[in-house]
Chains A and B, each alone.
Chain A
Amino acid sequence: MKSISLYQDKNTVIHRIDPLSKILYILVAIIVPFLLASQIASAAFILVSIIILLMGKSLKRTVPMLGFSGLILITVVIIQGIFRPDNVTPALVLGSVVFYKEGLLFALGISLNVINILMSFSILVLTTKPSDMVETFVRMGLSPKLGYVLSSVFQIIPQMTETMATITDAQRSRGMETEGNLTTRVKAFFPLISPVVMNSLITTKERAIALEVRGFDSKQKKTFLTEVKKTRSEKVIKIVLAAVLILSLIGRVLIWLR
């Protein structure tokens, strides 16, 4: 079955790390540069993330993800570089277009920030099986029902994509055009989307019943088929991350006191 998640099953140290540690890392990577208001910190975290992704053999897979944000970042550089209101110092002249230093620096800050966020999230997204993460949360106290909702989405979307293909076939079989001018295409949207909705709502009812007869609504405390393995290194990772966070907080206070 096709999966929509970006996760790829690989056997590396990074893949085995507790999802919680990865989430903690994201928080640290975002909060620390913010607290210290330091672009160097952002750059440093980007570097760390790249190293971790390399260890997880997943660096290449960040490229498509960078695509969308990358495009925005390019326009940010252009727009801020040329039009930013506080632009005064010309830095680069291309024909009649002038890029200013202030705007470019601002755009650099934004870019570092976005890339840092992307890279730190990528570690979690690319190297963690979604179902493992959901289970981690449920063990920590997330309602098992919400846990169910989260993990089922990953499987239900591919199912719906298949239905979508059948529906497209069924409507085209009745002579509906899906190509042509805008009006034709707009007209095609409703006959395609409505059956998807109806289908999925009807399925919803049947699935809700099927879950209930398997004790989904049970008041009993839930148990788990899979075991948790807690290792010492996991603890160390978490302590180090927490320490970095606390240190930067202290640093922030010191800067502020000065």
Chain B
Amino acid sequence: MKKNSMWSLKLNTASLVLIPAAVGINYIGKLFAGALKLPLWLDSIGTILAACLAGPIVGALCGAINNIIYGFTLDPVSFIYALSQVGIGIVAGVLAYKGKMKGLVGSIITGLIIACVATVVSTPINIAMYGGQTGNIWGDALFTWCTANQFPTWLASGLDELVVDIPDKVAVTLIAFGIYKALPKKLTILYKNDQAIESLD
């Protein structure tokens, strides 16, 4: 029973309503990062948090819906990158469920794994869309250097994405972990699907 519940597609209302809130958190994270002129995007805090709270399916849905919404509000190219957000949601959900996101070290490792997955999913899209670039100055500088030194495109592009993703995803995972840790149990229990009603009769 417990084993199945991580992948259960039957979501309760609380988990469903968590999705728009998580997308909103992503959006606000990005706005605050922009307003404070921080050098990172910080735009997947909600996805990771939702994945921790309600599992990989909700995490994946958050990621997908996040980018669909970005597609409608900022840049239609985001639709295509929904795939990498889905990857982030699934990985975070699975790792959190397996209890890997406990403590600082666990979160950093989780962040690194998330960054790798995001890179694996995004790189082919980057290559198909932009010949391998990401649009980030530092990443693209590395890409240029690699290209000029005859690296294969997939490697140059992968490294480009990775240098951008590692600091961002590690930071985001740490922030999500910090918030998750402080959440009252009364709230987090609502998103679990396997509660039963005890009888007092």
Contacts and interface: CB of A to CB of B under 8 A. Distances in A.
Q: Do chains A and B touch in the complex (CB under 8 A)?
A: yes
A203 B183 CA distance: 14
Interface string A186-199: 10111011101110
B31 A76 contact: no
Contacts, number: 171
B16 A148 contact: yes
Q: Which of B31, B79, B131, B175 has most chain A Cβ within 10 Å?
A: B131
Contacts of A212: 13
B148 A5 contact: no
Interface in B51-79: 61, 65, 68-69, 71-77, 79
A211 B118 CA distance: 34
B13 A211 contact: yes
A240 interface: no
A4 interface: yes
A156 interface: yes
Given A117-B77, A125-B71, A190-B178, A208 B14 contact: yes
Contacts of A73: 130
Given A153-B20, A157-B24, A212-B13, A83 B148 contact: yes
Interface in A122-160: 122, 125, 130, 145-146, 148-150, 152-154, 156-157, 159-160
Contact of B79 (A72, A121, A149, A160): A121
B179 A194 contact: yes
Interface in A40-90: 65, 68-69, 71-73, 75-76, 79-80, 83-85
B1 interface: no
B152 to A, nearest CB: 9
A152 to B, nearest CB: 5
B56 to A, nearest CB: 16
Contact of B23 (A125, A157, A161): A157
Interface in B119-149: 129-131, 133-135, 140, 143-144, 147-148
Contact of A85 (B17, B36, B130, B150): B150
Contacts of B16: 145-146, 148-149, 208
B37 interface: yes
Contact of A72 (B14, B42, B130): B130
Interface centre among A202, A205, A217 (most CB of B within 10 A): A205
A125 to B, nearest CB: 5
A201 interface: yes
A211 B75 CA distance: 31
Nearest to A202: B187
Contact of B24 (A156, A182, A188): A156
B21 interface: yes
A160 B28 contact: yes
A204 B17 contact: yes
Interface in A1-18: 4-7
A88 B39 CA distance: 38
Given A122-B76, A193-B179, A194-B179, A156 B20 contact: yes
28 contacts: A68-B75, A75-B133, A75-B140, A85-B150, A107-B131, A117-B76, A118-B77, A121-B71, A146-B16, A149-B17, A153-B65, A153-B69, A156-B23, A156-B24, A160-B27, A160-B28, A164-B28, A164-B31, A185-B36, A186-B38, A190-B175, A192-B36, A197-B49, A200-B24, A208-B13, A211-B13, A211-B17, A217-B13
